[in-house]
A and B are shown apart, each in its own frame.
Chain A
């Protein structure tokens, strides 16, 4: 029973899908059988979702939010990578580390100055979201850059590579998979900030504003329906980022394939035990 023993191989993709489906079914069953009456039933949520989709403009709100997160993410990635990669230059290092420290500020107190600076509306939300995500992404990517082994840089130097080529091959290309993973985590963080940011300027709509409006009227089935949509779209975006990583960094797939091909740890031990347990005459 390698499935319940720790540190065993992950098994096949199909097996993982079956396991995931099993846990999902268990979670839905727990929801359906929950004694808490304040929770809407799965049927109520499904019909609320249908109403919101056909009459409440859920599709349009999702598009608005996705556009907001896409623009913010593009700006975040551009600013963060520029700052983090620049940290290889000693004179610019404090810049990246300084921006990273701003993650402790929080967004609430920044609404007023950002409103003055951007004029509000879509630009304000982009600015807030970009600021919030940038401070975290700079932290993550600057750490990735810091952790590049010195030997990898020296190896390129002894090959005769220029500083620009060393930076491109070792810092940019060499860490791309980990950087994309950080962007992926950041996207999830940005997605979770969306209700707060969209709540600041509800006139532009978006699912954050939709949730807050439904919440105000205690339409819990609608709130959970929107949350379900947020979760599904978030997971789809996360999956898309994973695909992008595999396409741009095929070596990560090769490493994963090799890990999956690693034989079970106990297979050799079982063979050894069978030899030890065999009667003497057999040996």
Chain B
């Protein structure tokens, strides 16, 4: 991987409709989203697009990582994408240019909250009930997901009895009980031990690639994990008028997507990102 290939798109190209649309259908279109909290401008015309990735030999969803320094407004951006907060201006559109609706987007919060009075399985079946599944269907779905996150033996445990990595996996499973095309993860790799980190990375990848239109947006500080699992990396930088996307890295164009972060090219990109991360902090 040479330096030229690691160069991010210019700000003009990032917001260009034509340059992105040519690659595939748009699955997430964030248009000039701004947010002010009190007297502080948090987000300043944040603008990016994610497109449907296509591979001939495999069902491929999309994974985009948003990197940025602490306090840059990454979580605020996720909350806007989830429909939990409204931006001051701008809009978030899903496939077909339709607005992304609140309660139609999955989001796993940083501390992976689960209902502590319900067992692991009950947390999953409750999500099924809310989604309108009948008792049998939600039971089967819960069992299926417990197998996917390898927690069948802990189905009857309470969240307080799980490790951080296990709670994280249950929280992700809970969000995909009902089909969600857009799943948002807030710092899913923080505070996990190396083994749990690998588990969660694998789980995120598996969830993303279960359906062609599945899109996972991850906010993280972990540059290496971002390079390992993403097809798009967005770098959010602080500016005088709030944070905005300063770099966009298309790992498919670079030829290093879906390779698990292995190889010299990935290593080179990680180094570039780490340097840019420091620059924008």
A-side residues, CB < 8 A to B, are 149, 151-152, 154-155, 157-161, 165, 169-170, 173-174, 176-177, 249-251, 254-255, 258
Give which listed residue, B104, B106, B111, B115, contacts A170 with CB less than 8 A: B115
Nearest CB of A to B111, in Å: 6
Within 8 A of A (CB), among B43-66: none
Other than A149-B113, A249-B117, give 5 A-B pairs with Cβ distance below 8 A.
A152-B113, A154-B109, A155-B109, A158-B105, A158-B175
**A249-B118 Cα distance, complex, nearest whole Å:** 9
Identify the 5 closest CB pairs spanning chains A and B, nearest first: A251-B158, A160-B103, A151-B109, A255-B160, A158-B107
Asked whether A176 lies within 8 Å of B178 as measured between CB atoms, the reply is: no
**A152-B108 Cα distance, complex, nearest whole Å:** 11
B131 on the interface (CB 8 Å rule)? yes
Asked whether B126 lies within 8 Å of A157 as measured between CB atoms, the reply is: no
Per-residue A-contact encoding for B94-114, CB less than 8 Å = 1, 0 else: 000000001111110111011
**A154-B158 Cα distance, complex, nearest whole Å:** 20
A254-B161 CB under 8 A given contacts A158-B175, A159-B130, A160-B130 = yes
User: How many of B's residues come within 8 Å of A, CB to CB?
Assistant: 30
Nearest CB of A to B217, in Å: 13
B135 on the interface (CB 8 Å rule)? no
**Interface hub of B104, B117, B118, B131 (most chain A Cβ within 10 A):** B117
A-B contact pairs, 5 of them (CB 8 A): A149-B113, A151-B109, A151-B111, A152-B113, A160-B104
Asked whether A160 lies within 8 Å of B160 as measured between CB atoms, the reply is: no
Closest to B104 in A: A160
**A173-B116 Cα distance, complex, nearest whole Å:** 9
A159-B109 CB under 8 A given contacts A169-B115, A254-B158 = no
Asked whether B82 lies within 8 Å of A160 as measured between CB atoms, the reply is: no
Find chain A residues with CB under 8 A from B82 CB. 154, 158
Asked whether A157 lies within 8 Å of B103 as measured between CB atoms, the reply is: yes
Per-residue A-contact encoding for B199-243, CB less than 8 Å = 1, 0 else: 000000000000000000000000000000000000000000000
Find chain B residues with CB under 8 A from A165 CB. 130
Nearest CB of A to B106, in Å: 6
Asked whether B84 lies within 8 Å of A160 as measured between CB atoms, the reply is: no
DSSP class of A's interface residues: helix, strand, loop or mixed?
Answer: helix
Find chain A residues with CB under 8 A from B79 CB. 154
B157 on the interface (CB 8 Å rule)? yes
**A79-B98 Cα distance, complex, nearest whole Å:** 46
Asked whether A174 lies within 8 Å of B157 as measured between CB atoms, the reply is: no
**A173-B122 Cα distance, complex, nearest whole Å:** 13
Nearest CB of A to B122, in Å: 10
Find chain A residues with CB under 8 A from B175 CB. 158-159
Nearest CB of B to A244, in Å: 15
Find chain B residues with CB under 8 A from A159 CB. 103, 106, 126-127, 130-131, 174-175
Within 8 A of A (CB), among B156-172: 157-158, 160-161, 171
Find chain B residues with CB under 8 A from A161 CB. 103, 130
**Interface hub of A161, A177, A251 (most chain B Cβ within 10 A):** A251
Asked whether B130 lies within 8 Å of A154 as measured between CB atoms, the reply is: no
Give which listed residue, B104, B110, B118, contacts A151 with CB less than 8 A: B110
Find chain B residues with CB under 8 A from A157 CB. 84, 102-103
Give which listed residue, A154, A173, A251, contacts B160 with CB less than 8 A: A251
Nearest CB of A to B107, in Å: 4
Nearest CB of A to B82, in Å: 6
Closest to A259 in B: B160
Find chain A residues with CB under 8 A from B109 CB. 151, 154-155
Asked whether A151 lies within 8 Å of B174 as measured between CB atoms, the reply is: no
**A28-B133 Cα distance, complex, nearest whole Å:** 62
Within 8 A of A (CB), among B9-27: none
Closest to B116 in A: A251
Asked whether B113 lies within 8 Å of A176 as measured between CB atoms, the reply is: no
Asked whether A155 lies within 8 Å of B113 as measured between CB atoms, the reply is: yes
Find chain B residues with CB under 8 A from A174 CB. 115-117
Asked whether B126 lies within 8 Å of A169 as measured between CB atoms, the reply is: yes
Closest to A249 in B: B117
Find chain A residues with CB under 8 A from B114 CB. 155
Closest to A254 in B: B158
Nearest CB of A to B249, in Å: 28
